[in-house]
Chain A
Amino acid sequence: MPEPIRLKDHEKDARQVRARAVVGAVAIALLSLVLMARLYYLQVIQYEQHSTLAENNRIHVQPIPPNRGLIFDRNGVILADNRPSFSLTVTRERAGDWQKVLDTIVRVLELGPEERTLFERRVRQGRRPFEPVPVLFELSEEQIARIAVNQFLLPGVEVAAQLVRHYPQSEHFAHSVGYVGRINERELKKLDPVAYSGTHHIGKTGVELFYEDLLHGQVGYEEVETNARGRVLRVLKHTDPVPGKDLTLSLDLSLQKAAEAALGDRRGAVIAIDPTSGEVLAMISQPSYNPNLFVTGISGKDYAALRDSIDRPLYNRVLRGIYPPGSTIKPVVALAGLDSGVVERSTRIFDPGFFQLPNVEHKYRNWNRGGDGWVNMEAAISRSNDTYFYSLAHRLGIDRLHRYLSHFGIGQRVSLDMFEEAEGLMPSREWKRIKRRQAWYPGETLITGIGQGYMLATPLQLAQATALLANKGKWHRPRLLMKADGLSPEQLMASGLLEARPAPPDIQLKDPHNWDLISSDMQQVVHGARGTAHKVGATARYRIAGKSGTAQVVAIRQGEKYDRNKLQERHRDHALFVAFAPAENPRIAVAVMVENGESGSGIAAPVAKQVMDAWLLDEKGRLKAQFAVPPQEPANAQ
């Protein structure tokens, strides 16, 4: 190219470059200002926010779960304690491919696909990031060793020591103490996440559930500095947890065992109450189950076996079992008759073997088809005469029956601290109108008078009604808890630690002497020559006031005769017996229900007597000194 052009171009190029360099410099300056503005925004304007974030990153508050309170029986025998146990935990965030890690665990410990599914469910349920989730509990020495050897294959997997609930009495108290289990997702939503941080178990049934708040205690904290992988570098602050309260229950291990022995291998329920205080001394629902199975998660197979068993071991017969109370209700009906004045003590009724309402064909039959002839109240109770009570119920009417029986706790929750308790049913005109949209028929009053028909009660309610008869109408709600760290349930309620549940009003009779009359009639059931349970009375070392009953399982049609051979074993009547003793100074009230036992006096009464013997008699077979009858009492009682 020609020289002049090149020179000219050179100058032009230089100008061009210089102009662009200036533009570039300006752009660079502007973009630098953008960067500085951004940093100013982050470091000055948003300083507080990011500072907090960084601080929160650094400092983690680690919960220290409190030790769960222990549970004792009334003599200080441990019913529930906490045992150190090794569990296997998985931290999902540290495990990398955690599905693979779970596979490795299953392989190393030689477990099956069922456990694998369980592990996966538990890991998925993990709550906060970097929180170790226990997947397998109660590791054996060998399992711990296997994990240790294969640790390099198992990132995020650790063997952790923790306290796990243990029930040394196993199935003896499963239906009263209940059990704890892993917190499930539904419970998680309801729980205070702070109070339960670090806690993996919660009461599921029984005392463990009802007194969860007392047993759980207060969570402690540790402020720790952690790095991004959750590793604790140092502890900055430490607050100790407050362990849960120890509970002493009124249950008595030896009485419990005696009652179980008395039931033998029959299915049924026994409940014994101290009528003077409402303390439950024994509570048996048989068959039972091992609550320890549930603590660390029951296997599907074991659970299915319990759930599907025809004997229904998981079913709490004392609290959930509702049965027609049958003849056991008759003393209360008699008392209602006396107190309301519809019958006199001396009123007699002729029993031809049935009762008929005026102008109605239907015959309401006595259990004794031949009839008992003329019966008064004492004979009616001791012989359990149905005709007398049809007549009495007819005179009382359903409204008064409902009122009196309700005072005795039928059809309502009577306990102070039993979560599972069923209400039962005390029918009334109103109930039938609302629930059945039907009028009340007079015939229904009659069968209510002998404890059949719509009426349903739990063994606990029967025991409470009996305790009220023994205690002359003074109400104490049946309770399992005697003391929680030295505080009685009343004190706990007063201090707001327990939801208040005041007892219903005491039953006031117009003539208190009637209490003694009914007690006397009930003693005739056991001690009278023609009493239904006179066989039991023959060997008694003290006076027992009792009443037998049967609860129909299958309704018998009119004109059909109850034929035990025709009925399958499971369709036979349930045997009932209620009693209190010593009759002059009642210290124990018992209700016994033997499933398909048929005969209240023959099957259930001996069980009740054995339970009372175990409580009242010393090893030489004499009445214990503390239960001795005060000298002035017998004169009054008879």
Chain B
Amino acid sequence: MHNNFNNFDRTLSDEDVLRRRATLLQRLHIDGPLLLLLLLLAAGSLFVLYSASGRNLDLVIKQASSFGFGMLAMLLIAQVEARFIARWVPLAYVLGVVLLGVVEVMGHNAMGATRWINIPGVIRFQPSEFLKIIMPATIAWYLARNNLPPGLKHTAVSLALVGVPFVLILRQPDLGTAMLILASGAFVLFVAGLPWLWIGSAVAAVVPVAVGMWYFVLHDYQKQRIHTFLDPESDPLGTGWNIIQSKAAIGSGGVFGKGWLLGTQSHLDFLPESHTDFIIAVLAEEFGLVGVCLLLLVYLLLIARGMVITVQAQTLFGKLWAGGLTMTFFVYVFVNIGMVSGLLPVVGVPLPFISYGGTSLVTLLSGFGVLMSIHTHRKWIAQV
């Protein structure tokens, strides 16, 4: 494998490899392992959702059609060559930030937060979702133009590029998404080889920054969440209720779970938001430790595939973008399961592919579309 990088000419002229490109999946720009894992997740998620929503078939059908739409978006994106996308990334970034600005000024308010652009009858659109894909692309595009590892100036510019949408989303307020945007940019910097010393300094700086945020940035409800996270029993009927009940749901599932549709916590409405952010608790209650571990395994296989794609990408832009997307995907998983199981404070991060919600599904599948695009548009594919 190492050899191939060193022997540029030989790889290019390998006829066998060129012939293999002609397989059906590759001609459709589809990555087999990714598609297989995603279909597996989609099927499993509909079962869990049926139970978590209290046997609401309408909801399941809606989610299934979101899956269909997302898959379509994924396949369409996969057809576009990443290098072609790279050209439009700066424009997309500017557009995303402008839309966030529009949300800030005249966005549609839902549930105490302004996250939507709503043109009635035409489209309901969440610019922050768009940025989840474009943010790592922007940083990847910027860093790929220069030598790695990024120097002080490039790092600073990257952070500024991340900072603008981060602050705008934080002000919506949507702490969960803002963190994911920040993470996706930061992971690109990390993959690009940000010096360890700087990373260490940044981690050390987190404490004063966190204190500053507590006093000047965080909303009351966010402070309350953090407070509840630190001591859920302090307000068992109020904000601590969610965590106590979700822990009870997970814990009472045991090793093998109570069985599909037999979870009492979710079916008797003790579990809040059981079909959205807290759906992992339903899965853990009904399928036990075994069920959750299987789900984690599928996620890790997806991530592993993403890592392979990262390493094998042939452009630096592709490597950085793929790495950022893959690692951000893990952040989704980790933050969601961590918060529901009481390891992390409650921030609004859905469980990828399992939580109900079309927007998040389309965004995630679009991300995998990008991975497929990066992987299937390579000029040489010797290292599959």
Contact = CB atoms under 8 A, between A and B. Distances in A.
Contacts of B5: 11, 14
Name which of A28, A225, A228 has the most chain B CB atoms within 10 A of its CB.
A28
Interface string B297-327: 0001001100100110000100110010011
Nearest to B326: A24
B268 A228 contact: yes
Interface in B320-342: 320, 323, 326-327, 330, 334, 337-338, 341-342
Contacts of B341: 35, 38-39, 42
Given A10-B316, A39-B289, A58-B268, A46 B251 contact: yes
B262 to A, nearest CB: 12
A54 B296 contact: no
A485 interface: no
A11 B237 CA distance: 58
Contacts of B6: 11
A20 interface: yes
Contacts of B326: 24
B264 A57 contact: yes
A20 B311 CA distance: 10
Contacts of B289: 39-40, 43-44
Nearest to A46: B251
Interface string A25-44: 10011011011101110111
B9 to A, nearest CB: 12
Nearest to B272: A228
Contacts of A34: 343
Given A9-B148, A35-B338, A36-B293, A54 B249 contact: yes
B23 interface: no
4 smallest A-B Cβ distances: which pairs? A50-B251, A54-B252, A228-B269, A227-B268
Interface of B: 5-6, 8, 147-149, 187, 190-193, 237, 244-245, 247-255, 264-265, 268-270, 284-285, 288-289, 292-293, 296, 300, 303-304, 307, 310-311, 316, 319-320, 323, 326-327, 330, 334, 337-338, 341-343
Contact of B147 (A9, A29, A39, A55): A9
Nearest to B149: A16
Nearest to A12: B148
Given A14-B5, A54-B265, A21 B323 contact: yes
A25 B268 contact: no
Contacts of A226: 268
A184 interface: no
A28 B330 contact: yes
A129 interface: yes
Given A17-B323, A53-B248, A57-B248, A38 B343 contact: yes
Contacts of B334: 31-32, 35
A114 B257 CA distance: 55
A51 B250 CA distance: 9
Contact of A17 (B268, B296, B320, B327): B320
A38 B8 CA distance: 47
B319 A54 contact: no
Contacts, number: 151
Interface string A217-234: 000000001111100010
A9 B307 CA distance: 21
A82 interface: no
A51 B247 CA distance: 10
Given A13-B316, A57-B268, 18 more contacts: A14-B311, A16-B149, A16-B193, A17-B191, A17-B319, A20-B193, A24-B187, A28-B300, A39-B289, A39-B293, A42-B342, A43-B250, A47-B255, A51-B252, A54-B264, A58-B270, A129-B237, A226-B268
B148 A13 contact: yes
28 contacts: A9-B147, A16-B148, A17-B316, A20-B193, A21-B310, A24-B190, A24-B327, A28-B300, A32-B296, A32-B334, A35-B334, A35-B341, A38-B343, A39-B293, A43-B251, A43-B255, A47-B251, A47-B254, A50-B247, A51-B251, A53-B248, A54-B265, A54-B270, A54-B285, A57-B264, A57-B268, A228-B269, A228-B270
A20 B190 contact: yes
A345 interface: no
A53 to B, nearest CB: 4
Contacts of A228: 245, 268-270
A129 B241 CA distance: 13
A227 B269 contact: yes
Given A28-B300, A36-B296, A233-B268, A50 B255 contact: no
B73 to A, nearest CB: 26
A25 B191 contact: no
Contact of B311 (A21, A43, A46, A55): A21
Q: Is the interface of A mostly helix, strand, loop or mixed?
A: helix
A254 interface: no
A49 B311 contact: no
Contacts of B304: 25
Nearest to B309: A21
A513 interface: no
Contacts of A29: 300
Contacts of B293: 36, 39
B265 A39 contact: no
A35 B304 CA distance: 17
Interface in A41-87: 42-44, 46-47, 49-51, 53-55, 57-58
A18 interface: yes
A12 B255 CA distance: 47
Nearest to B315: A10
B191 A47 contact: no
A62 to B, nearest CB: 15
A420 B246 CA distance: 54
A431 to B, nearest CB: 57
A18 B311 CA distance: 5
B320 A57 contact: no
A229 B269 CA distance: 8
Nearest to B251: A50
A457 B187 CA distance: 93
A20 B322 CA distance: 13
Contacts of B288: 43
A55 B264 CA distance: 8
A27 to B, nearest CB: 9
B135 to A, nearest CB: 17
A31 B251 CA distance: 20
Contact of B251 (A13, A49, A58): A49
Nearest to A48: B251
A39 B250 contact: yes
Contact of A14 (B319, B327, B330, B337): B319
Nearest to B257: A43
A57 B263 CA distance: 12
B191 A24 contact: yes
B284 A24 contact: no
A17 B193 contact: yes
Nearest to A28: B330
B348 to A, nearest CB: 19
B250 A225 contact: no
Contacts of A12: 148
A226 B264 CA distance: 10
A496 to B, nearest CB: 41
Contacts of A14: 5, 311, 319
B70 to A, nearest CB: 24
